[in-house]
Amino acid sequence: AQKVTQAQTEISVVEKEDVTLDCVYETRDTTYYLFWYKQPPSGELVFLIRRNSFDEQNEISGRYSWNFQKSTSSFNFTITASQVVDSAVYFCALSEVNTNAGKSTFGDGTTLTVKP
């Protein structure tokens, strides 16, 4: 069965600090996709990144970076120089290709609060 674990329920940082959100997943598939979504207080989920299981290169997009390590089944998300607008709930998700095609499993989310 597929499972996504976001062990950090809540994180609070002060503006300009760096913060890493952890994501650990379980899957029997060899082909899968991993996602991160942001859910601001307005409630609408916003796509941040998709990574396929064959591409372990780290990715950087502005202040956001992602570290994918298959050996530890982790897909961690780092925000550099955090800002108040980064305050939101962040979800990590997994989509399998073969055994549960079409079904996405989400973690319980990490609530990030960035204080000025």
Q: List residues binding another protein (CB under 8 A).
A: 33, 35, 37, 43-47, 50, 52, 91, 93, 95-98, 100-109
49 and 66 in contact (C-beta within 8 Å)? yes
Give 76 or 109: the residue with its C-beta nearer to another protein. 109
Sign of CA dihedral 22, 28, 30, 34: negative
In angstroms, what is the minimal distance from the CB of 85 to another protein? 19
Q: How far is the CB of 67 from another protein (least distance, A)?
A: 20
Name every residue whose Cβ is closer than 8 Å to that of residue 22 and which is 6 or more positions away in sequence: 6, 7, 8, 74, 76, 110
Task: Kindly state the tokens that stand for 94.
Answer: 């997994």
Q: Give me the least distance between CB of 102 and another protein, in Å please.
A: 4
Q: Based on CB atoms, which residue is closest to another protein, 15 or 33? A: 33
